[in-house]
Structure formats: structure tokens, C-alpha cells
Amino acid sequence: MTDPVLAAIRRRRVTRAMTDEPVSREQVETILDAARWAPTAGNRHLQRYVATTDPGTLRVLRMVSPGMIARPTAAIAVCVDHGLAAEYGFPPENRGPWIDVGTATATILLAAQAVRVGAGPVSSFSRAAVGVVLGLPGGWTAELIIGLGHPAPDQPRPIKPARLTWRDLTQWVPEDV
């Protein structure tokens, strides 16, 4: 494989243990700049980001985020601006904004790898508490938090180490003959 993007996708891993070495603000800003290029529904950019490298904020964030086991030294919350979504005519049940969260997250994870920072998405957290901790504006909700940090030398093993092929994950329609 010679394409650098495909090579990066294959190399990227979730970082489950991080050192206490700080992630620089420049690295976080580079990651955020990459995130703005993620595809969005109708190029509307209904997702918003809240970033922190503040140890106190991160400590409280971990307290309300049981899924944040890696002890990151930086974090980016990927949020949806529901007020803006409503202005564009998206009904509350429309999934477009959450698809944007997914594309932004994938972009952030690859950008973190590019600047040699480990990353791990966290979905287990109290949305209300995270909103207070991060001071989210009205109408914004945190949908995912990405912890950032330098990978520790020893990483916990994945829960289920499986190497599936694309064939294991794909169904052709009509069925391939």
C-alpha cells in the first residue's frame, strides 16, 4: 500500500493508556483545524468543538465521564448546535447532525495520529454534567469526547482482539455470484 491516507487509517489505534506529558496547544489547534474540513450535511457545520488542556477541567471531566479511562492531558468535545440545526430546518430527530459528529470524529482521530498524539473517543458520560463543566452555550450538547494524550508504552489489550476483513463486514446487493 503506497497511499499515505490508507496507510494512516491502518496504523491508527485507540489509545487506552496515556502518559502525563502534556499535549501542546499547537497540536490541539492543528487537530481542530483538520476537523473543520470534515464533511458535513449540506456543508452546514452544525457541529461545534470545545477543547481543553486545563488539568482541573480534565479532572472534573473524568469524574463525570466513566468511559474516560485513559487519563488524557487534552480533550475535545464534539458537540451539536441544536439551535443552528433548527434554523436550518432540521427536525430534532434528524440524524444528519450525528453523522457530522461521526465524520468529525474520524477526522480528529486521524489528525491526532498525524501530529503524533494518541486519541480515544469516549461516549460514556453525563451530557448534562459535561455541559456544565465545559460551559456549553444554550442549545449545544456534547455528543462525544475525544481524549488526547501521548500513548503510554504499555497499552491494555482490546476487549475482543478480532481482525475482520472487509468481506466479514460487507453484504453485496444483489448477492455476489
pTM (2 decimals)?
0.90
Domain range 4-149, CATH class: alpha beta
The sign of the CA dihedral 110, 161, 170, 176 is positive
In angstroms, what is the C-alpha Rg of the chain?
17
User: Cis omega before residue 174 (within 30°)?
Assistant: yes
In the chain, domain spans: 4-149
pLDDT tens figures, 134-168: 999 999 999 999 999 999 998 887 777 678 888 88
pLDDT at 166 (0 to 100): 87
Task: Name the DSSP letter for residue 14.
Answer: B
Section 2-23 average pLDDT: 87
Cβ-count burial 17-29 (b if 16+ within 10 Å, e if not): bbeeeebeeebbe
pLDDT tens-digit series, residues 97-140: 889 999 999 999 999 999 999 999 999 999 999 999 999 999 99
Distance in angstroms (rounded) separating the CA atoms of residues 53 and 84 = 27
